[in-house]
Chain A
Amino acid sequence: MLNINKHSSNDTKIQIETKDLSLYYGQDKVIKNISFNIYERMVTALIGPSGCGKSSYLRCLNRMNDFIQEARTEGEITINGSNIYDKATDVIELRRKIGMVFQKPNPFPMSIYENVAYAPRLFGVKDREKLDEIVKSSLEGAALWDEVYGKLKTPGTGLSGGQQQRLCIARAIATEPDILLMDEPTSALDPLSTLRIEELIRELKKKFTVVIVTHNMQQAARISDYTAFFLLGDLVEYNVTNKMFTSPDDRRTEDYITGRFG
């Protein structure tokens, strides 16, 4: 997994540096001393069988595990030069810089407009014109504007599943974060909506670093630049996606990708 640097060209910068990270839920060690670098403006896919710790890792990145009482981390995650598990870290500020999209589309029970304006409002944007602008550009960024610009005042929950998920993406990018975390964002969607989101992710990576959990091997192969394979809390292999899906270094990766277990 260290030969990763061979594959990355010189202009890729490290966005997230994970060093010897472990996560415990009570006594259970669900992430076991993993280390790897996630690169800026790349799509990194996390794959692995159910329960191997992908979501848990993702939630480490914006410290959503803080809400789970028995959760405890060891090691470091460095984002923009500082360890986010440092005492001095402002978690609110951190989450502002990291957007998250969940498995199940979860727009707030408010209007489409209010959903997108939610985070900007939190951070003090009051000017109506400025908000209008943010809402428009975020919805455009999420490839939803054309479908909803005439009904911004209607409830976000009235949209189709795929539209709702894109609304959640718009909501997440409204504060212009550096990183976008996505936990199986298409697993609740039909194939067509899935395809639209995948296209969208390819667009999004021009502006954001995307980390996406997926159970769909084809999806990982289609949209990601790097792939990390987790197994029972271990990071078994981390590689350039092309390499990973054609000639993986580890036997277990090959078995998983070709569907021999998992």
Chain B
Amino acid sequence: MNRTNWRKLKDKYMYLILVGTALSILSILTGIICFVLYSGWSALSWDFIFEPPRDNMTSGGIWSPLVGTFQLIVVSIIAVIPVGVLTGLYFSEYAGKGLFPKILRLAVRSLSGVPSVVFGLFGLSLFVIFLGFGSCLFSAGLTLACLTLPLVVTASEQAFRAVPKDYRDASYALGATKLQTLVKVVFPSAASTIITGIILSIGRVAGETAPIIFTGAAFYTSKTGGLFNEVMALPYHIYILATAGTNIEQTRPIQYGAVAVLLALVLGISSVGVWMRVRMKRR
């Protein structure tokens, strides 16, 4: 009798603890959002988004860094898709259990644990210097692609693995080759999961600063440029405003306005990914 009560009590406490941790996570997120909005509210307006920075970045908006960030996202997506998806395909369909795939797998897993600043230095030496692309959108995009690579590889591999064996069996039994089965059945069934994975991974890196500082982010450019120009990017812009601006205190609202936009962008991308994932689960 006493024992049962004690057990019930423990159950209740466990429940409370779990709810508590969940709530604390929620409150951290809302805290951040409220703080950012509160500090940056006065700067936010449509002009703020569509105007480039002016007067040594003490006024104006964030149009050029915002466009730069979009450009970086596009370049890195285009770069990461073929390599990431094909590597995922290799792991899921061809690798088997040999030593080489094992080493490769370990490499990919380790890659996802490498700090982003190391990727920045790697990008600097490989893309900027060794391959001679210089400090530009292209180099920075490729560096971000390297950062997303392990995420995309893992997401793709899982997506390919999740394709039911039933489909493969049916295809083979109809006389399809392995390649035909992959192209016509496995790939289409995995595609939407892979796209979701890519969107989520991009959401994770779009806000990164370290990888682009040495590889292509501009301190300031008034115009938006091409593949081989330096670009402004939101995260780096914020970093500069907060540490190296002409008048750091006075530009606080601009800083937090930019943070709010970046946050909205990253959360927006991630929620699109999450929404797609949920929708696919329902089907």
A64 touches B180 (CB 8 A): no
If the complex has contacts A102-B169, A106-B169, A108-B170, are A119 and B175 also in contact, measured as CB distance less than 8 A? yes
If the complex has contacts A118-B184, A122-B180, are A106 and B175 also in contact, measured as CB distance less than 8 A? no
A108 contact from B173, B175, B185, Cβ within 8 A: B185
Smallest CB gap from B189: residue in A: A109
* Whole-angstrom CA separation of A94 from B174 in the bound complex: 10
- Interface size range on A against B: 20 to 34
Write the nearest CB–CB distance from B184 to chain A, whole angstroms: 7
Residues of A with C-beta under 8 A to B173: 62, 64, 95, 98-100, 102, 172
B170 touches A106 (CB 8 A): yes
Residue positions of B touching A, CB distance < 8 A = 164, 166-167, 169-177, 180, 184-185, 188-189
A-B contact pairs, 25 of them (CB 8 A): A62-B173, A64-B173, A92-B175, A95-B172, A95-B174, A96-B175, A100-B173, A100-B174, A102-B166, A102-B173, A104-B166, A106-B166, A106-B170, A108-B170, A109-B167, A109-B188, A109-B189, A118-B171, A118-B174, A119-B174, A122-B175, A122-B184, A123-B175, A172-B173, A172-B174
Answer whether residue A67 sits at the interface, using C-beta atoms and an 8 A cutoff: yes
* Whole-angstrom CA separation of A249 from B173 in the bound complex: 35
Write the nearest CB–CB distance from B183 to chain A, whole angstroms: 11
Residues of A with C-beta under 8 A to B184: 118, 122
Judged by DSSP, the binding face of B is: helix
Contact string, A168-209, partner B, CB cutoff 8 A, digits 1/0?
Answer: 100110010000000000000000000000000000000000
Smallest CB gap from A168: residue in B: B170
B174 touches A175 (CB 8 A): yes
Write the nearest CB–CB distance from A80 to chain B, whole angstroms: 15
Write the nearest CB–CB distance from A205 to chain B, whole angstroms: 20
* Whole-angstrom CA separation of A219 from B243 in the bound complex: 80
Answer whether residue A93 sits at the interface, using C-beta atoms and an 8 A cutoff: yes
A93 touches B166 (CB 8 A): no
Residues of B with C-beta under 8 A to A172: 173-174
